[in-house]
Structure 1
Amino acid sequence: MSMLNDPRPSVDLEPRKYSDRLGVIDADQFQAVADEFGLGRVTNAEPAPGGLFGQVVFLTTTDGQYAMRGNPHGYVQLTKERRVAQIIRERSSLPAPWPYHVSEKTELFGWTYAVMPRLPGRSGSELWNAADDEQRLALARAFGEALGRLHEARSPFFGPYDADLDDFIAMDNFSDWALYRLDVTRTKCRRINALTVEAELFIDSMIDQCAGAFAVPFEPVLVHHDFTLGNVNLAESGRGYAATGVFDLFESYFGDGEEDLIRFLGHVQTDEQRRVFADAYSAHRSLRPGASERLALYALADFLVAWEYGKRNRVWFEDVAFLDAVRPNIANARAIGSIHGR
C-alpha cells in the first residue's frame, strides 16, 4: 500500500475523551473525517479551549489546520452556521470559517459534524486574560472595529433563519419580533421559578419605558448575537490588534446591529474600555436616535438569557438577586447609548 493512499494517521493517536458532549474519539474516526473532505492525513487532535458545550476539536493534518464541530444542537446548527459563514464571506470584510463542510453521515459518531479551516490568530478570551490595562484598551478597540466590519453584511429585511429554506426569512414588525424574543426567554425563566414579583414588575417597567425606541427605522445587518471575547480571533497589528476571524455563528439573524454591542459591553470592566469599544464601532456605523433606550432593553433581554441558563443549570447567580445583577448591565448599555445615540 502506498503512503499516498494509506488511510491510517501518520502518528498514533490514543482514543481520548475530548469533551462530555463528544465523548471518546479515536484516530481512525478522525482520519475518516479527513478522508471524507480530502484534508490529508491526521497528525494531531486537541479539544478547543473554552466554550460552554465542548463541540469543537482542532485537527492538524498534512494539509493544514482545521476545526471539527460535532454533536450539534440539532442538524440545523451546522446548516445555519454554514449559511452564516457564507454570508459573512460574501458581504463583509471580516473573515469567517470557509469553506464550511457539513457531513450528513451519522454512522461514524452517531451524530452529524462539520469541518472548516481553523482561523488564524489567538482567541480574544486568551488575549484578554493575559493583557494589561493598555492592551485591553487596544483589544476593546479591535473588537469595535471587528463588529463594524461584521455589520457590513446587510440585508433588505430583518428576520430569522429558516432551516427548510437554508436561508433567512423576513418578519413584518421589528418591535413585535424583538419583544416576542424577550418574552420567550422570560417565559423560560418563569418555568423554573427564577423571577420574583419584583423582577417581573421591573421587566414590565423597562418594556413600557423603552420599547418605543424599537420603532426607529434601521438598515438590517447580520447580528451575531454572541459577539464576545471567546468568539473572535485576533492577531497583533502594529501597536494594537486586528480581528482574524469570527466564529460560533449559531445565534445569528438579520436585525438591529446595535444589539450586538451588548455581549462585549457585559464583559469589559471599565468605562474607558466600553467607550473605546463603542467609539471604534461608531466610526463604522452610527447609533440611531433612541439608542439609550434600545440598548437598555437589549441588555435586559440578553441578561434574561444568561439568568435562565445559570439558574436552570445552577452554575451562575446562586447568591445574587436579579435586580442587583441586571442593573449594572442596563446602566452600562444606557451610558453608551447616551453618548453615541444621535
Structure 2
Amino acid sequence: MNTEKFNITPFKDAYTQWLFNRIKFWLEDAKKYSEITEKDFEWVETLMEESKEALNNLSSPTFVMGDFKPGNFLIYLEDSGWEISGVFDFTNSYFADPISDLIKMITYYLDNNERKIAKHLVNVYCRELEEKEDLKKRIKVHMLHQRVLDWGCAKAMNMVTWDNELPFSKWVEAYTDSAASLLE
C-alpha cells in the first residue's frame, strides 16, 4: 500500500512468485544459523510446486493483516457471542490470500493442543471459500512460510523449543500436514 498516494501497489511479480521468493530467501537465511540440508530444500521446492496452481488460481484476494495473533486484536462478548472488536499492528499488511492470516492462530492452537478449536476456526473461516483441495495446498504453503521465519528466528537466537535434532523439513511437515488436515 502506498500511503502517500493512497493506492495499492501491486506485487512486482505475481503474488505466488513473491511468496515463493520470500520462502526461499528466509530458508537460505536460516542456513546461517542451522543445518538446512539439500533434502530440506527439495522438500520445500516440491511443496511449492504442488501448490503453485492453487495459489495462481486465487480468486479472492483480500486485506491480509500479516500478524493476526493474540495481542494484536481485542475480543468483546456480545449477546450473540464473542466478536473481534479491535485489530492492531498493520505493519505487515498487504492484499493477497485471506487464509494466510489464519496461520499464527492455527500454530498457537496446535502448539497448545487445541486442535478442535483450530479446526473450528479454519472451517468457519473457509466455509464459503474455494475448493477444499486448493485451500489445503495454499494453507500448507502459508504454514511453511511462517514456520521458516520461526525456525530461522529461534535458531538465530538459540531459543529452540522443539527437538533441536529434528531436520527442518520433518519439523515443518508436521505443521503443514496438521494445518491441511483441519479442512477435512
TM-score range, shorter chain: 0.7 to 0.9
* 1:286 and 2:129 are equivalent in the alignment: yes
Decide whether the 8 Å contact of 2:123 with 2:182 is kept in 1: no
* 1:244 and 2:90 are equivalent in the alignment: no
* Residue type of the alignment partner of 1:218: S
Q: CA deviation at 1:303?
A: 0.5
Question: 3-state SS of the aligned residue for 2:108?
Answer: coil
Deviation per CA, 1:308-337: give whole Å up to 9, x if none: 111111123463322343122101221134
Give the corresponding residue for 1:325. Answer: 171
For the pair shown, the structure with the greater C-alpha radius of gyration is: 1
More helix by share: 2
Question: 3-state SS of the aligned residue for 1:229?
Answer: coil
Q: CA deviation at 1:288?
A: 4.1
Decide whether the 8 Å contact of 1:235 with 1:243 is kept in 2: yes
Residue in structure 2 matching 1:314, options 158, 165, 168: 158
Over 3 Å counting, the alpha-carbon distance change for 1:304 and 1:239 in structure 2 is same
Decide whether the 8 Å contact of 1:223 with 1:260 is kept in 2: yes
* 1:295 and 2:136 are equivalent in the alignment: no
Give the corresponding residue for 2:114. Answer: 270
Separation in 2, partners of 1:318, 1:275: 23
Separation in 1, partners of 2:91, 2:131: 27
Residue in structure 2 matching 1:334, options 162, 172, 180: 180
Work out which structure has the larger RCO, using CA pairs closer than 8 Å and 6 or more positions apart in sequence.
Answer: 2
* Identical counterparts, % of pairs: 18
Separation in 1, partners of 2:58, 2:37: 34
Q: CA deviation at 1:164?
A: 6.3
Where in structure 2 are the equivalents of 1:200-215 lying within 5 Å?
Answer: 200-215=41-56
Give the corresponding residue for 1:70. Answer: none
Q: Which runs of 4+ in 1 moved over 6 A?
A: none
Question: 3-state SS of the aligned residue for 1:245?
Answer: strand
Counting matched residue pairs gives 177
Deviation per CA, 1:204-247: give whole Å up to 9, x if none: 22123222221213132111121112211112223732111111
Q: TM-score, with normalisation over the residues of structure 1?
A: 0.47
Decide whether the 8 Å contact of 1:307 with 1:317 is kept in 2: no
Residue in structure 2 matching 1:175, options 4, 9, 16: 16
Over 3 Å counting, the alpha-carbon distance change for 1:292 and 1:174 in structure 2 is same
Q: CA deviation at 1:163?
A: 6.5
